[in-house]
Structure 1
């Protein structure tokens, strides 16, 4: 176990040794602060609540974190082949499965670390600029959970629930990028297709909404936006009512498939050439 933790630590050192990682971190720290300042200076009406502003800004920042993690994921395996360091990694006394698991966990830790930092900075910046309120505000008050009106719940509960659901989408997209990186040794392909999945998901969902077949329910794209369940809705597609449990089950199947492909291809690949 200690050796495995050292392996994860080594993968994290590779990530944080790069200058671009710190540039990414600087971006997610500065962007919400700048947005809040511009919002304050350019709005003539009443200030939004700190929760409203945080929710709006953090959604954008989390999208950036997803893109940054996809970039790291794309090079996590494909980069080893590109730089020729994969042989040095595989001669160490660890199985290929353990090496791949350490890479995957380091990416998840990277995403979680950036998410925590981004949320803390965004919330504190909005408290400093707009003041603190215990009322979640009109924007978040429209949410309900289990039939309970959001206005009766703590704003912390609402915000953390929303972030948790968005993190599910992040993990799925990163897992997809990791699979492409492991299977095709192409960082560019992994980045391109994963970012396409991130931005085109809502468009594809809108197109599939007009389809009548039950197969629509099993397409991964439509389950990436789990926030549609927070307001008591029946899912992302009105004419195909679903539950959050069903959406999570579908995503779990895709998650298993992505990781099975990653591990199978990486373990069996010949790297002697």
Structure 2
């Protein structure tokens, strides 16, 4: 177990010793500060509350969290093949499964670090600039929900649902990087899922076919379920159904990734 933790620590070191990683963190911090300060000093008094501003920034900036993680994920495996360092890893006394798992865990830890930073920054900066008070009903209405939940609880749920979507997109990126050994392809297809997926899913949901309910794309945006209790994106498609579909896809994607990595000949 200790050896595996060392392996994970080594993979994290590879991520955080790169200048681009700290540039990503810096971009996120600067964007939060810039958006909040501009909103605060703009004519009209800026945002109605810190919660509303936090939501607005999250809807924009969580996409950056996903993109940054996809970039790191795409290079985690494909970069080893490109540079030839994968051979040095495989001759060490660790199984291929442990090597791949350590890489996957390090990517997810990076994603969590970015998401946690975004949550803390958007909450702290906007509470300081715009306040976190106000009537609970008015605040929740501004967040676009009718649920009986505190604003803080709502934002935690929102981040949790966004993070589930991030996990799916990044796992797809990780699989493509492993199977095709191409970081560029992994980034390109993953960004299609992220940016074009919502448009494609909206079009697909207009079709009256049962098989549409089982497509991955229409289940990636779980935050729509937060609007009201019992909300369904399609007839019979509830939050539980979407989570079950995502779980099945997740298992299949992970299985393909592990199978290909363990069976592939990397001697040449």
TM tier, smaller: over 0.9
* Secondary structure of the corresponding residue to residue 15 of structure 1: helix
**In structure 1, which of residues 239, 256, 261 is the aligned counterpart of residue 251 of structure 2?**
256
Q: For the Cα contact (< 8 Å) 1:134–1:155, is it kept in 2?
A: no
The superposition leaves residues 102-161 of structure 1 with CA deviations (integer Å, 9 ceiling, x where unpaired) of 000000000001111111111111112112316451322x424xxxx33xx221111101
**Residue in 2 aligned with 1:143?**
145
Q: What does 1:122-201 correspond to in 2, within 5 Å? A: 122-133=122-133, 135=135, 137=139, 138-140=141-143, 142-144=144-146, 149-150=147-148, 153-201=149-197
Following superposition, the deviation at residue 63 of structure 1 comes to 0.7
TM-score w.r.t. length of structure 2 = 0.95
Q: For the Cα contact (< 8 Å) 2:40–2:46, is it kept in 1?
A: no
Following superposition, the deviation at residue 53 of structure 1 comes to 0.4
Query: Aligned pair in 2 of structure 1 residues 99, 40: CA closer, same or farther (>3 Å)?
Result: same
Cα distance in 2 between the residues matched to 1:224 and 1:135: 32
Following superposition, the deviation at residue 30 of structure 1 comes to 1.1
Q: For the Cα contact (< 8 Å) 2:39–2:46, is it kept in 1?
A: no
Q: What does 1:90-105 correspond to in 2, within 5 Å? A: 90-105=90-105
Q: For the Cα contact (< 8 Å) 2:173–2:186, is it kept in 1?
A: yes
The superposition leaves residues 72-98 of structure 1 with CA deviations (integer Å, 9 ceiling, x where unpaired) of 000000000001100001111000001
Following superposition, the deviation at residue 164 of structure 1 comes to 0.4
Residue segments in structure 1 that go unaligned for 5+ positions in a row? none
Query: Aligned pair in 2 of structure 1 residues 91, 134: CA closer, same or farther (>3 Å)?
Result: farther
**Residue in 2 aligned with 1:89?**
89
Give the superposed CA RMSD: 1.3
**Residue in 2 aligned with 1:204?**
200
TM-score w.r.t. length of structure 1 = 0.93
